[in-house]
Structure 1
Amino acid sequence: MAYGMAAVLFAGILTACSGGSEGAAPAGSKVESGQTEGKNGYPASFSYWVELDGDSAVSMTNFNENEAYKKLEEMTGTKVDFKHPTGGGTQIQEQFNLMIASRNLPDVIQTNWLTVPKGPQNAIDDGTIIRLNDLIDQYAPNFKKYLDEHPDIANMIKTDKGDIYAFPFIREDDRLKVYYGPVIRKDWLDKVGMQPPTTIDEWEQVLTAFRDKDPNGNGKKDEIPFLLEVGAVRNDLLNSMIGAWGILDKFYQKDGKVYYGEIQPEFEQFLTTMHKWYTEGLIDKDFAAVDGKLKDAKTAGNQLGLLYGYSSGTIGKFTDLMKDSVPGFKMTALPNPTLNKGEVSAAGMISPTYPGEHSAAITSAAKHPEQIVKWLDLAYSDEGHMLFNFGIEGKSYTMVNGKPEYTELITDNPDKLTFKQAQAKFMRTQYGGPFVQDVESFLQQMKYPEQLDSLDVWSKAKNNLQLPLMTLTSEESSKIASIMNDVNTYSDEMVVKFIMGTEPLSNFPKYVEALKSFGIEEAIQVEQAALDRYSKR
């Protein structure tokens, strides 16, 4: 399954590059760019901005080196001029802003258009990208067929005005949507003689045993019972925990009414529990400063008893890493916790069918968008589906009993590439792109039964509080950005203070009033209006 957020535009070096007009001239004729048209009416060339993800960057410097794109070029005669941004998230955001201001656009931009300033409808209205409805009807038979067969997904990828703004990344199978949740050291549980906890009280009992009974056996009492994270993954983690109290961390809905979690009394109850755990040494004392590298180091150092992680990137990764050095090492998934025994948590991590990420829009710079639509449509064909999910038959996969199975080039790469790095060399499913992800491409990452079990365990949460991926008007987007910038800055600081005790929980009512003074109630009204419009689509 593809992970991670799609980045935004790289501005300064991008130049528009166009192909020929679909159906306007026979193959081999000249087009406006002065280049020869590709095969069968596909474009000769076009420019395509897209992030070079970390796994891909290990084995290539440009997607022209990716085997799936090489095959597409062979099939279509189209030379894609891939443009990859550099730098981190803040740098890329700055480049995006410059890009929009300069109007120096490539032909295709792959990003999460739901998160760009003022949203996708404004990007169409101001001429940054183009409306795709009519072009899809005429030039994208595979994608049109898919939307006709999946009207719910067709609804997801439209604005409130009904405009389709991009070719989407789709996680259709439910097993692709849940890949993150609580992970516990099962071998530690066995050593302290306890069963996997299901309630918040049981979590506390287990964490206390991890603190007191030296389950890593080194006699140093250096165990860290639980790593609470409040950084980049805060919402997934906190929602998975706060679901025990029947709310979400930020915006959520019940029966069509929008709420904000941090001004609810249940949020104070959650903070009270986390503060208690922190003062009792059940939470890593350095939790507020732990990043991914430190988390990995603590896990690999045989210190962490309970953490939030991934089926592949945590359970699989550390089982591989630790099974020889720590006899009996075993990680297993825990269900998202509840307050009362026998209940099902209201929330856990779940990705939407259409997550917004990795969506390819055609910009107003494209001289002949018809041909680009035709090229993008290939990904939704049977052949394109196999190409983007499995790569090249006979190299990266073979058909076994009617199903594609990855070869050892992927599963046991001779160049010592990880599973995902090897996938990245041949296909795009390990990260994402404008295509429908195949569940088999994900399930074949699961080397250990504990990994497969995690998908079932984590998927049991109700997950009916989440808001759909709605689109805001330009004015609403600006208002939300202004309000939430202040709210999030203040909240990020105060949540850590409440948990660590540098801010007494007796001041929680003042915290709520501060959020209201920043305009959180107005933000709730904006989200409510957007939800009402979405419900009427």
Structure 2
Amino acid sequence: MGTRLSFKNGMMLLAAGTAAAGLLVGCGEKEETPVGTGDSSKTKTQREESAPSKSEEVSYPVKGAGNFTYGMELTGAWSDRYDSFDKLPLGQELEKRTGFDLDMVHVENKEAMNLLLASGELPDAIGYNFQLNYTGDESKAIQDGLIYPMSEEFVKKNAPDYWKAISENPEILKQVKTPEGDIYGFAFILGDEILKGGYGMLVRDDWCRELGIELPETPDEFYDMLEAFKDKKGAEVPLCIRSETLIEMLQRGVITSPFHLVCADNYVDDGKVVIGYEQPEFKDVLTWLNQLYSEGLLDPNFSTVDSDTVEANILTGKSGASSGTAGSFMGNLLSTNREDKNYSLAGIKNLVGTKGDTPKYGHYNTDVVGAVNVITTACKDPETVAKYFNFGYTKEGHMLYNFGIEGKSYEMVDGKPKFTDLILKNPDGLTAQQALSEYELAYGNGPFVQDKDYLLQYYQDDRQKDALKKWGDNNAKDYKMPKITINAESAGEYSSLLSELITYRDEMIIKYVRGEESLDGFDTYLDTLKSMGIDKVQEILQNAVDEYYHR
């Protein structure tokens, strides 16, 4: 086991009294000059001087692998029981099978991670969602001298199983590269179309059956259902969602199709980038939401309510409809009320204008999502660390990251891995997600290809699988933005403009829905978006999309 560090409030705290500088020397405690020093001209030279090489098999455990420092955020699913990733059964098994000793550098949240990135004391490797949380994403982090840029030759030689995983599909290879052609890290890859969905609206279908109501497909049917829940079932808050959930529903196109709007996020229509929340049709969506709010069908406290209250309302019958994921949200609700045989939830398809139509959009991920594991420029031996991350893309690594340890978290039944009662009926009262978090990473993400058999078992209730099917019935694939990278030159301007635009958009959505601003002034909202630079944002996005398609 390696020494564990934690990074809180900008301070490096040692778990075993060893100086941080010494631990951050690098892989195997070598003292040579770092491969990268933060100078972007040197990282460019690394790309230019990469020599062609053949793929070579990596044998595990790697002899003389040594240790390296590894930074990641603490995970809520296990951090109440373990203080470090390498103390988990999964972490210990990874050390055993790969031959590496992990010196963990844990941070509490993304703010702490950004402090770590700015501290000048980088670990050798980091797992982080750069695209979501770092201005300019991975490409800018390479230019800023944080990420070690990997060439194709480097990956073929030092991570051949990863190379196989990303090179067999040209779209995946494009998604793990920057505009400059660097492979920025070891990605979490969704291994099947079924894994790309999993979010939508759900309703008390037992109430619907009792009231003789079909599951709604149109806004009018949804309105009538909520009204019946309120009048005939006594639901105080028929539709209970948080403001963040409402914005997710709009961005993911859950309720926008009936109003001739794909979604309220960025999307591509015939190669052209469209920003949904600046379209005139967005007014009609907001008008309908305002009607739900003003008639007491949408939670009057949606802008302040917390997730615990939402769950309590759905569990106790105070509410009959909400929106969320099939796993941690719907699954937890069904599991909590499993003793109530009359309690039931069903996912409903995203709303459409005419019953039987296919929704324009819905929650749909690209092949590469979430956090990426990168080697930093502080690492003295990136070739060796690459071999650690390559393990996740081997057959053995695939099974460990997706299902855990055979005989403990899963057994092979008829040639397929099946989770044990340790996971599905945990004797210590852990939820399936909590139990899984100790043995595998498929419940979240990591350096491997996610297996659909993990998901189909994680969804223990057939109603979750039915919801997954209904939510996936849409045309999102026709409009989905590719996994673009904003070029480093535009990253700062883009981030600054987008931050202000999103803040303004979200504030106005709440005001319009609550009736605090009249939708008669919607043109003023559109004009304000223009004055705040939305056309420039659209231009930057279009350039990034064009670049992606021409990679």
TM > 0.5 fold call: yes
Tell me what 2:330 maps to. Answer: 315
Letter paired with 1:125: Q
SS in structure 2 at match of 1:143: helix
Tell me what 1:511 maps to. Answer: 525
Query: 1:66·1:427 contact (CA, 8 Å) conserved in 2?
Result: no
SS in structure 2 at match of 1:231: helix
Tell me what 2:545 maps to. Answer: 531
Residues 178/42 of structure 1: CA separation in 2 closer, same or farther (3 Å cut): farther
Residues 352/291 of structure 1: CA separation in 2 closer, same or farther (3 Å cut): farther
Of 239-248 and 155-164, deviating more is 239-248
1:219-258 equivalent positions in 2, closer than 5 A: 221-231=234-244, 234-238=247-251, 239-245=253-259, 246-258=261-273
Query: 1:10·1:99 contact (CA, 8 Å) conserved in 2?
Result: no
Deviation at 1:237, TM superposition (A): 4.9
Aligned counterparts of 1:31 and 1:106: Cα–Cα separation in 2: 14
Please say if 1:172 is aligned against 2:191: yes
Tell me what 1:192 maps to. Answer: 211
Please say if 1:477 is aligned against 2:491: yes
Deviation at 1:332, TM superposition (A): 0.5
Please say if 1:141 is aligned against 2:160: yes
1:264 to 252, 271, 279: 279
Aligned counterparts of 1:258 and 1:193: Cα–Cα separation in 2: 43
Aligned counterparts of 1:459 and 1:10: Cα–Cα separation in 2: 41
SS in structure 2 at match of 1:385: helix
Aligned counterparts of 2:246 and 2:191: Cα–Cα separation in 1: 23
Tell me what 2:181 maps to. Answer: 162
Aligned counterparts of 1:144 and 1:80: Cα–Cα separation in 2: 23
2:126 to 100, 106, 109: 109
SS in structure 1 at match of 2:377: coil
Aligned counterparts of 2:141 and 2:9: Cα–Cα separation in 1: 16
Aligned counterparts of 1:408 and 1:451: Cα–Cα separation in 2: 19
SS in structure 1 at match of 2:188: coil
Residues 521/138 of structure 1: CA separation in 2 closer, same or farther (3 Å cut): same
CA-to-aligned-CA distance 1:334-368 (integer Å, 9 cap, x gap): 0000112221111111222111x221000010010
2:149 to 110, 120, 131: 131
1:486 to 495, 500, 525: 500
Letter paired with 1:343: D
SS in structure 1 at match of 2:203: strand
SS in structure 2 at match of 1:298: helix
Unaligned runs of 5+ in 1: 1-7, 21-29, 216-220
Residues 42/535 of structure 1: CA separation in 2 closer, same or farther (3 Å cut): farther
Aligned counterparts of 2:278 and 2:288: Cα–Cα separation in 1: 17
Residues 499/74 of structure 1: CA separation in 2 closer, same or farther (3 Å cut): same
Residues 237/271 of structure 1: CA separation in 2 closer, same or farther (3 Å cut): closer
CA-to-aligned-CA distance 1:138-172 (integer Å, 9 cap, x gap): 11111112223222211111011211001001112
CA-to-aligned-CA distance 1:25-58 (integer Å, 9 cap, x gap): xxxxx9549xxxx954453000001122111213
Query: 2:186·2:374 contact (CA, 8 Å) conserved in 1?
Result: yes
Aligned counterparts of 2:469 and 2:62: Cα–Cα separation in 1: 45
Please say if 1:74 is aligned against 2:96: yes
Deviation at 1:504, TM superposition (A): 0.7
Letter paired with 1:198: E
Of 509-518 and 100-109, deviating more is 100-109
Query: 1:187·1:329 contact (CA, 8 Å) conserved in 2?
Result: yes
2:345 to 312, 328, 331: 331
TM-score, normalisation: structure 2: 0.87
Of 373-382 and 111-120, deviating more is 111-120
Of 522-531 and 111-120, deviating more is 111-120
Tell me what 2:49 maps to. Answer: none
Tell me what 2:56 maps to. Answer: none
CA-to-aligned-CA distance 1:469-507 (integer Å, 9 cap, x gap): 210112321111111222122111111111111111101
Residues 378/97 of structure 1: CA separation in 2 closer, same or farther (3 Å cut): closer
1:31-50 equivalent positions in 2, closer than 5 A: 31-32=30-31, 40-41=62-63, 43-50=65-72
CA-to-aligned-CA distance 1:1-48 (integer Å, 9 cap, x gap): xxxxxxx9985426524224xxxxxxxxx9549xxxx95445300000
Query: 1:224·1:283 contact (CA, 8 Å) conserved in 2?
Result: yes
CA-to-aligned-CA distance 1:223-282 (integer Å, 9 cap, x gap): 322124321672345421123333221222200111111221110010111111111111
1:205 to 224, 241, 249: 224
1:83 to 98, 105, 116: 105
Aligned residues: 504
Aligned counterparts of 1:494 and 1:78: Cα–Cα separation in 2: 51
Unaligned runs of 5+ in 2: 1-6, 13-19, 33-59
Query: 1:10·1:84 contact (CA, 8 Å) conserved in 2?
Result: no
Q: How well do the aligned residues superpose, as a CA RMSD in angstroms?
A: 2.0
Tell me what 2:50 maps to. Answer: none
Of 480-489 and 262-271, deviating more is 480-489
Please say if 1:461 is aligned against 2:483: no
Aligned counterparts of 1:9 and 1:248: Cα–Cα separation in 2: 38
Aligned counterparts of 1:341 and 1:424: Cα–Cα separation in 2: 41
Letter paired with 1:119: D
Aligned counterparts of 1:484 and 1:257: Cα–Cα separation in 2: 19
Aligned counterparts of 2:417 and 2:341: Cα–Cα separation in 1: 35
Tell me what 1:4 maps to. Answer: none
Residues 148/483 of structure 1: CA separation in 2 closer, same or farther (3 Å cut): closer
Tell me what 1:218 maps to. Answer: none
SS in structure 2 at match of 1:169: strand
SS in structure 2 at match of 1:145: helix
Deviation at 1:304, TM superposition (A): 1.4
SS in structure 1 at match of 2:507: helix
Query: 2:328·2:433 contact (CA, 8 Å) conserved in 1?
Result: no
Tell me what 1:293 maps to. Answer: 308
Aligned counterparts of 1:40 and 1:276: Cα–Cα separation in 2: 63
SS in structure 2 at match of 1:304: coil
SS in structure 2 at match of 1:176: helix
Aligned counterparts of 1:125 and 1:387: Cα–Cα separation in 2: 34
Query: 1:178·1:350 contact (CA, 8 Å) conserved in 2?
Result: yes
Letter paired with 2:309: L
Aligned counterparts of 2:413 and 2:171: Cα–Cα separation in 1: 33
Deviation at 1:312, TM superposition (A): 2.2
Tell me what 2:27 maps to. Answer: 19
Please say if 1:389 is aligned against 2:402: yes
CA-to-aligned-CA distance 1:182-225 (integer Å, 9 cap, x gap): 10101111222211111111111111111211x2xxxxx34322
SS in structure 2 at match of 1:427: coil
Of 360-369 and 131-140, deviating more is 131-140
Query: 1:44·1:78 contact (CA, 8 Å) conserved in 2?
Result: yes
Aligned counterparts of 1:43 and 1:459: Cα–Cα separation in 2: 43
Aligned counterparts of 1:395 and 1:222: Cα–Cα separation in 2: 43
